[in-house]
Structure formats: C-alpha cells, structure tokens
Amino acid sequence: MPNSSASNKLHIFAVSLTLAGSGHESHGPQLEVQYARSTKKFLGASSLQIFEVTVRNMDGQAWVMANDTVEVSIESDRLTTVKPGIIKRLRPGDQVIIQVGVKIKGVNEQGTTGLATARLKSSRVNVSHEFEAAFGIGAYEPTYESIYTHESPDWYNGAKFGIFIHWGLYSIPAWGNSGSNETYAEWYWWNENMGPKTSDRTYEYHLSKYGTGYIYDDFMDKFSAEGYDAREWVNLFADSGATYFVQVAKHHDGYALYDLPINVTQRTSAAQYPHRDFIKEVFEASAKYQPQLHRAAYYSLPEWFHPDYAPYGFGRWPGHNATNPYTSEILPYRGYVPVNDYLEDIVLPEMQALAALGSEIMWCDIGGPNLTASFAAKWYNAALAENKQVVMNNRCGLPGDFDTPEYSTLSTTQKRKWESNAGMDPYSYGFNGATASAQYMNASIIVTSLVDIVSKNGNYLLDIGPQGNGSILDLEAQYLRQAGAWIKDHAEAIFNTSNWFITPQEGDDVRFTTTLDAFYILVMNQINSTLTLASPIPLVDGDQVTVVGGRLHGEVVSCSRIPGEIDGQAKVQLDISQEVQQADQWTWVFKISYR
C-alpha cells in the first residue's frame, strides 16, 4: 500500500475565496519556491532533462493571472532553459508543480552536480531559489540506491486508465466460489492443495468436476485459445478509453504465455499446447491496430511449486513439487528444466525476455528474493539510449516507481504515484464461472471509480478475466465500451491532469482535477439544480463555467458568489438547468478556463 505517513498526507489550508480580477492588486503576488529539483525524466529526447519547481502563492490577496503570467526557468552556467514553465493562474494559498525543460551545455557536464537557480518572473514577480541539482540523466547502476532514483515518467502519470488481463490455465476450471466465500480464481491450484472445507471449496469443486486423477497441469491440454483474438482484445481496450494495458505473462503457477529459451523453461504456451506466444501476439496486434496504447506485462517472480525455488521459498511460495491433494502423490512439473539458480537462470532471463518484447511497464508480483537491481539497470539504460521511458511497480522486490493497492482506493491524495487495481468481478482477477452477471462492475461504477482515483493522483488498472478459450465476456465488453464512451467524451478532465493541491474532493460526490490551463469540477452519481461549493476553487470575476462532455458540451453555466458561512470561506453556487442535468450521466463535469 502507498505510504500513509504524515509527510504524504494532504494538508488543507483554510483559505478565503476572494474573487479576483485583472488589475485588482497593485502589488504582485508573493510567490515562494517550496522545492526545486532535477529529475531523471525527459521531454521527447533524453538530452532534454526535466526540472520540477513547486511554487506556492503565499499572498493573502494577490493572484497570478493569465494577463500577467509567471515564467519559470532554471539558471546555471551548465545548462540552458529550452522550455520554460508558465503559471497562468494561482490563487492565494494554492500550490502548483511546474516542469521546465533544460539542455545540458557540454558533454563534460553530464552526470555532474552543482548549484542551480529556479527563477520565477513576470512584470510584478522576480523570485529566485538556489538548489543542488544533478545535470543530465546519466546511466543507472545495478544498486538499490541508483535504481531508487528512477521515477514514473510523465506518459504513465498522465495515462490514468489501463486494462489488466488475467488469462491462463486457471481460466479453464474458472472457480473461485461466490459471495462472501469468493476468492481469487487465478489461485485455483494453490487453493485446491489447501484441502477440503476451506471457504472457497476448490478442493471439493475439482474433485466433483474432474476427479482425483486429473491434475492441474492437465489443463495445458485444454488451453486451446480457440476464442482468442488479439485484434479484438486491443480494439476493446481502445474502445474502453484505456491508454495502456497489462497482460499477465506468468502467474504463480509458472505457466508462461510467451516463448522462452529451452535452457530456462519449457513450461510455456509456446513450448506446450497450443504452441503460441500470446504476449507477442497481443503486443503486435496493439502496435498494428491500436499503436497509441502502451503495452505492458505482469510477471510473478516466484512460482508456487517450482522445484528449484525451494532454496528461496517462503510462505505461500514454498518452491517444491506439488502433490496430488487426493492421493498424496508427488506431481511432476510439466515443462520443468533443471537450473543451478532460480534467480540467475529463470527470473532474470524471463524478465529480460519481456523487456525484449517491448513491455513498457514491468508489473511484477510478490517480490521476495530477486535480482531486480541488475535487471532494472540494463532495462532503464537500454530505454534511455532509445529515448524511451519505462516504469516499474513496487512488487519487483524494490520500491519501484508506483504503489499498487488491490481492490481498494485511498481516502486522501498521495504524493507518490499509485495505481489502484481491481477486477470487474467483485473479488477475482481470473475468470470465475461462479460469479453471477449482476455482480460485475458496470459502466457507472467504472467511471466514478476512475474519477475518484484520478483526483487523488492515482491511475486505475481495471482487470478483465477472459474465459478459458480466450474470449471476453459480452457483458464485460458491453460495460467497458459504455464506460469508454463517457471517458473519451470527458477526456480533458481525466487524462494528463493533476490533483488539486488544496483538496481532491468536497463531500462524497464532488471531485476536482486541474491542469495548467483549466480547473475541473466533477460531480458523481447525480446532480441537482444547484451545486454549492465551499472549497476555494480558483474562480475569478469574468470567468465562465462551461460544461464538459455530454450533449451540451461547451454550454455556459450560471455561477454566483454566496457570502461565506462555512469556516469563513466564501461559497460559489452553480445553477444547473434541467437540460444540463439530462445531458449527461454518471458524472457531470464543469470547467473553469484560465483566460
């Protein structure tokens, strides 16, 4: 789970909402650089390094306005500011992170450290802030300290919505029980080995349907993929409004859905039936039919019953041969290739193979013993050489670039990037045939979940569990396309937005997002004839509040000030006509443009 320490919690400032207007203040706003830093991110090419400057308006009255924008630049004899940042609006008490693109002047300066100055400048502002900077991005070393300096790139931070796909041998028995007894269907093999009288009753289900002599690895012979169509998959992902997808390449059962060298393992869909590399197929389909989608793979470091994982085994990943839970017979591990060391000879080459296939996210699971620093250094450096930016989650055995809570969202904004992952099934990632149709997440829940998560600096990775033959449930596809229509129609309030520094929400149903050009108010579930906001939204005299998306996109909504009665803060009231109420569904979005 993301760090919930006090340093990462949202601090709410009691700020009065003073409606400002151009020229209302004779003095400039009192701006302060809270923090400035060099990053290991870049704009377009690795030669154009990103610096970030956090700016707060400390003034009690004066605003930054679009008629006197503040330019943010970086000064040093070792670099040139190529792309300055611009602040168009910043109300008293608010804070914004501005990116500045710089180019290092000389080859000899690459990798050096020294002092730099962040400069804030307008006709009424001239503020400087000196800080220690690292010039150039530089190569990564295979150490914890070096890998820790990597961070999530802007394409991922702005991507917001992705599709997770759990499909494997476990999709054939497709059992996880239901209701309060439901468990992850992709854990079928492990749950079967837990014996009778567990809440999920996997042992009893297998016994009844398949009998004592049918073992888990026999499902390889049924993994026909006759309903699988990679083109249909990626078209559905695009229709859902997602900007990336993460396909399970190998789960804890050790069955990999991609080709691997014969000295690593033969426990793959390429070496075994149906002799196909599904990760390659879906990546190639995406590149051909939906090239805008970012492609990624999930990878489990340990395998439950791999014989050579035994020296590293722990907890529910013991690493020895499974037994038939009905006969106690020790079972072979189909496709097993003996190796000297599981980490060196299996984990490292398997992760390298996914990188070679073009995975832009290394979405690991479980962690445990690992060689991730060694892998990541080579992966990051190879991407850097190609002017690509890749990202790794927090389950590869290192902190990674983002956190990954399961089936949960967070109540406050997190400074560190996070991604909530959950299935359309109420409690399973893999397809669970015991789940009733009415239990699947519908379009309304998808949309409102996305809005809530994005307002708190999160991404939403929504899982689908294809059936054993590789086909996706019609109901899931229907809900995804319905949600996708809304997401695309309101994209500007979702993608490439930031959380608002002051608060992500007001009450249960109102959320806020922001960009350098606009502020968005998102009202979930239902909307009435008036919307009264006590939060100090950045609204000034002369602003127009407009509708985003729906059948009345661009419609101007009447707004007015109400004298402050809640904690001394002014309130703003939006008057929502019946036509506007009826012109959209699930979440209504309103925009304040910074003009």
pLDDT in tens, 214-231: 999 999 999 999 999 999
pLDDT band at residue 283 using 50, 70 and 90 as cut-offs: very high
pLDDT band at residue 209 using 50, 70 and 90 as cut-offs: very high
* The token pair that represents 502 in the structure block: 């002051």
**Which of 528, 486, 488, 531 has its CA nearest to residue 511?**
531
**Average pLDDT estimate for 426-452:** 98
CA distance 297 to 285: 15
CA distance 174 to 468: 8
CA distance 280 to 293: 15
* The token pair that represents 32 in the structure block: 């302060």
pLDDT band at residue 23 using 50, 70 and 90 as cut-offs: very low
pLDDT band at residue 564 using 50, 70 and 90 as cut-offs: low
Residue corresponding to tokens 């190639």: 284
Q: Is the pLDDT of residue 419 over 70?
A: yes
**Category of 452 on φ-ψ map: left (φ > 0), alpha (ψ -120 to 50) or beta:** alpha
**SS3 of residue 256 by DSSP:** strand
- Signed CA dihedral, 298, 299, 302, 308: sign only: positive
**Which of 378, 374, 416 has its CA nearest to residue 399?**
416
Cβ 50 vs Cβ 39: under 8 Å: yes
**SS3 of residue 34 by DSSP:** strand
Cβ 66 vs Cβ 594: under 8 Å: yes
Q: Is the pLDDT of residue 518 over 90?
A: yes
pLDDT of residue 549: 98
Which of residues 377 and 565 earns the better pLDDT score? 377
**Average pLDDT estimate for 341-369:** 98
Residue corresponding to tokens 């909402």: 17
**Average pLDDT estimate for 110-115:** 90
pLDDT band at residue 52 using 50, 70 and 90 as cut-offs: very high
Which of residues 411 and 467 earns the better pLDDT score? 467
Query: What share of the chain in percent tops pLDDT 70?
Result: 95
Q: Is the pLDDT of residue 18 over 60?
A: no
Cβ 470 vs Cβ 167: under 8 Å: yes
For 565, half-sphere exposure in the C-beta direction (CA atoms, 13 angstrom radius) is 6
Residue type, 228: Y
**Least confident interval from 3-7, 232-236, 261-265, 482-486:** 3-7
Which residues make beta-bridge pairs with 99?
A: 52
Q: Is the pLDDT of residue 552 over 50?
A: yes
Neighbours of 473 (CB within 10 A): 18
In 348-467, which ranges are E strands? Answer: 361-365, 391-392, 418-423, 458-464
∠ CA 568-574-580 to the nearest 5 degrees?
160
**Which of 283, 294, 280 has its CA nearest to residue 242?**
294
pLDDT of residue 27: 77
Non-local (6+) Cβ contacts of 3 within 8 A are: 403, 414, 416
In 122-242, which ranges are E strands? Answer: 126-135, 161-165
pLDDT of residue 22: 41
pLDDT band at residue 9 using 50, 70 and 90 as cut-offs: very low
Query: What share of the chain in percent tops pLDDT 90?
Result: 91
pLDDT of residue 563: 78
pLDDT band at residue 562 using 50, 70 and 90 as cut-offs: confident
CA distance 388 to 390: 7
Q: Is the pLDDT of residue 342 over 60?
A: yes
Q: Is the pLDDT of residue 566 over 70?
A: no
Express each pLDDT in 299-331 by its tens digit: 999 999 999 999 999 999 999 999 999 999 999
Could you tell me how far CA 181 lies from the centroid of its own chain? 29
Q: The pTM is what?
A: 0.94
Gap between the terminal Cα atoms of the chain: 39
Express each pLDDT in 118-163 by its tens digit: 999 999 999 999 999 999 999 999 999 999 999 999 999 999 999 9
pLDDT of residue 437: 97
**Average pLDDT estimate for 85-105:** 97
Q: Is the pLDDT of residue 17 over 70?
A: no
Which of residues 192 and 44 earns the better pLDDT score? 192
